[in-house]
Chain A
């Protein structure tokens, strides 16, 4: 054997970093500690994989997660054992609930200490098991390249999800070296994730869809994860189908297109929920009939035949029985459908479809996303609309969780996929700022806006320091109403306005706080201040601007489904109910 074919000898720590490089990883988000010191030393000795030092491990996971949501590639987190790992748990669960590819590398105590309650020991494999797609531990340093490959393969294929790799400290010893070779391919006998969809089922689905008189296309996050927006849009436009997106699916179909009927579900539009309830065929694509969509499952869409495409068979007929199930990746299935349509040139019954659109037009008139416009009081909806205008509808928008999240989902019209970045499944407050940072780091030229509230932002406010260190010029839209708005809304509606712990006393001066971290803070307390403030904020290209916007504390999010009702049982305002 010639000398140049000899693989290079590397330590476990160096192999890990080299494997990340060979996987194409540019950034790792993390926080050092005892169990990962060898790994951090290996990071220090190279320049290709860059490390981003956060201020709390939860933020590292959200940064990685948001990078994945924006780019489609797995984000990478590096944390130490014990508290480092447990601090990452919320972020791992967030990614798991929304099927986000992520690889989390956790340090662990030395192998011989495992089980001894050693310093900073915690059973991270046990803790993370219910919230990961898979987790693995390194038993032999020589296995590290193969395990890294396996971790990325599992995280990014099929229904994506987070993978935890637990690495005991003695697996990364600098003085123990092993031949390094990064595997090109991987095949697991127990895991075969890429299904194209059964041709017979695809045919049956098309027949069912073409026979519909009142069809609706209900598209979820799977379309975005499966990078199938173009196919979805083409199919919808070809057949002139009304399209509704889930919270996770916003941007999968362009929101400013006339065929878009808005988000559906708990805070969906009146027309989207009516269309679903009255449809005869529901074509569900990469959506999972979440309880925040269906309302009471027993009353769900009584007349609908349901076609359901999903890569995860367990998502099909889990809560709502699918009549025509298709297990497969959304993209090739939609491509096959388009191919069939092309070949046969089919259309739906145009007269019936025309009537259906007429009906939809009437439903659009009923609520139409209206809200009260005031000159003395800033409405949160108006703020989002203004942000949409100022960013020409083309920003990456991250959000936290609560009323502001719903207002952003309702009033920012997303025309592109991967632009709306929020914690839909887990509903993690504290997600927004680190998520915005993760996006901004990778897309420094893009406008990145974090829509948040004074409750959520304080859950990871320490990251303003990370923003300073890495020069992350995100724009923070803090819809400050002095209350935990969504909690308050429920207390208004169900608890006779007894505001049990939903009022936030002693809020910091956010403007001064932003300045203390070296950023720009602007306070907006009246409608006339909004436009100039936004203008100034977006003109400061490279600066982080914290806009503390005082909005109407009494505002509620509407429409809102009536709990326990059908999809179309809704409150339309404080006084109107369907």
Chain B
């Protein structure tokens, strides 16, 4: 198959809410285009990380080239570019979208449009993408395709009445979708004679090839052996291999031309050199300007990550190094804590990103971790006129030196069935939310718009929202900016000693309640020890809450019979093991669970 004819190329992505069937649809498309033999298909081929598969979400974009013979008898090349579905990866989504001319919008026939779907659809429209709506899961008894169609028309404002009604699960009407891709989505219109210009929409690290950059060629063409330049970083490399992404393998080709999607390898060692959104051109014949929309991704949420077993510090460093090979948005630097020892301060795009990284560290690298409460970046204006950015409570300045402080806020949209509005408003109020407005999406569902401090949502907001809406609400946010705030640093003391890893920055109005809750949690999660342990919360040395872990009463092997001391020894070994899992803070032993228990306070 050749890419000579741009008019027979379609570059598109699929937008869908979690569980609305994006991956299943992608699988069906792969089947129908005979890209993969049926029996070789593992369900949901495009998502290839375990966590993605379990959570039903896509973390990193992937792309695949498919051949399709249309009803009009012509052969087409489809480049299906998968996009991450989550707000944390908004920027990556926008770059994937920029590589496409169109988007297939998959909406669940019984659930309707969700907050993230809408966010990504708007993003697609902003990028001038042609949106092809598809109603999925029409085989479900609860399917209401008519209602969902009118929802799409009313909310998004695109015609949806004659949109394909499909069941990705059973394979019903999938061909309709492909035909619509051909008729509705425009072919790329690059200029093959202009200098080479391509957009990086993703990159992965490969042990043998180095970084593989995924590109959409806008103009011109590229071949192996040419010297390319990455415009944002200025780095130059000689290309080694050029090709496209087959369903199962990378397929080398001689040349990638305008309108095509493919990959380039160039013995690139660091993924940081190949930033998503950057423009690739030829070093000897550069294009005149870079593609718009590039920005360097910024971490929004920070957390201390420590190995539960201090001896595993080097393992943690190796694991982070490896993850960072494939994830330029993960940042980390060494940090030490009196309580937790050696670890790393890690920066994440958002909450989900943080959870995913932590989970991958634990699952793929077999690490047992202790993480500290997530923090956002605070802006602290000092009395000497200086402004400092603080992402770690340990660095919070002495209150006497602080003139004022600011915290980041986000614009948050919560889509929910009407019945939960009361619960959600209560939650947002409790999280210091600022109500903006509420719009009816249809007769039963609303879009609640709040301004929320980011530090209130990095803290178990998703869980709280889920439990208050039985999982029916969806949530999306974008950064708005900084607002002045009354912040304090809350310290936790065990047996009179401050535990640095448990300190955090909080709004003064929330400090008392938070302090009380944390001391309660610690009390529940710190086992009784040989003597009583006071658990206190304090602000600037003033105690605001106190609980007590009572002294242990009984821990004895009373009977040791006939000189059989094996039990006693076994017990001792078991206790030694148990002790290893504890953190010794002064005279107090704190289990890992205690550190984790303060991260989820909403119950």
Q: Do A and B come from one complex?
A: no
Give residues in A with beta carbon < 8 Å to B.
none
Give residues in B with beta carbon < 8 Å to A.
none
